[in-house]
Amino acid sequence: MLTYENLFRFDRALDDVMGATFGTATHRRSFSPSIDVFSDDERALFVVDVPGVKSEDLDITVDGRVLTIKGSRKFNGPAQSKNTQAVLGRSYGSFSRAFTLPDDLDATNLTAELSDGVLSIRIPKLEAAKPRRIQVSVATNGLPSAASAPRQGGEGK
């Protein structure tokens, strides 16, 4: 008969080579959240999967142009006794990810929100970096309109 103890030993031997093959790792693996990054004309958006992480366990900083997201997911299993056996399939521990931000983002107006295990970090683009529409005026008789014609005698005179 295959017992948990035998399966644990076999899995532990394979852990070094292949990871937790049967999902029965008996040690805590490091936690590394999945992160998606989106960008459009208005903002950059970082979407971080952090299930089981509380807002007080997250630390978001911007230093220069570097955005750093740190946090930790703590093991919250039942109290363990000498005879407790556990099959750990989830990972726990601290993580840290850093991203170099482009110059066109306004990191001073960064916002972060945690909802249902998903951290959303929004960074608006600077106004100068946003696309803008330029109105084209129509020339009459092949000459520029009065509004767009240069003034005689230079600016401010």
What are the structural domains, with CATH classification, of the chain?
1-28 (no CATH), 31-75+89-130 (2.60.40.790)
Sign of CA dihedral 126, 128, 131, 133: positive
145 near 137, Cβ under 8 Å?
yes
Those residues of the chain that have pLDDT short of 50 are: 1-2, 16, 20-26, 155-157
The C-alpha atoms of residue 120 and residue 112 are separated, in whole angstroms, by 6
The C-alpha atoms of residue 8 and residue 10 are separated, in whole angstroms, by 6
- For the segment 56-101, what is each residue's pLDDT rounded down to a tens digit? 999 999 999 999 999 999 887 777 677 777 777 788 889 999 999 9
105 near 124, Cβ under 8 Å?
yes
64 near 99, Cβ under 8 Å?
no
Distances, alpha carbon 33 to alpha carbons 13, 30, 97, 149, in Å: 26, 10, 9, 58
The pLDDT value recorded for residue 9 is 61
The C-alpha atoms of residue 124 and residue 102 are separated, in whole angstroms, by 12
Burial class for 19, CB neighbours closer than 10 Å (0-12, 13-18, 19+) = exposed
The pLDDT value recorded for residue 157 is 44
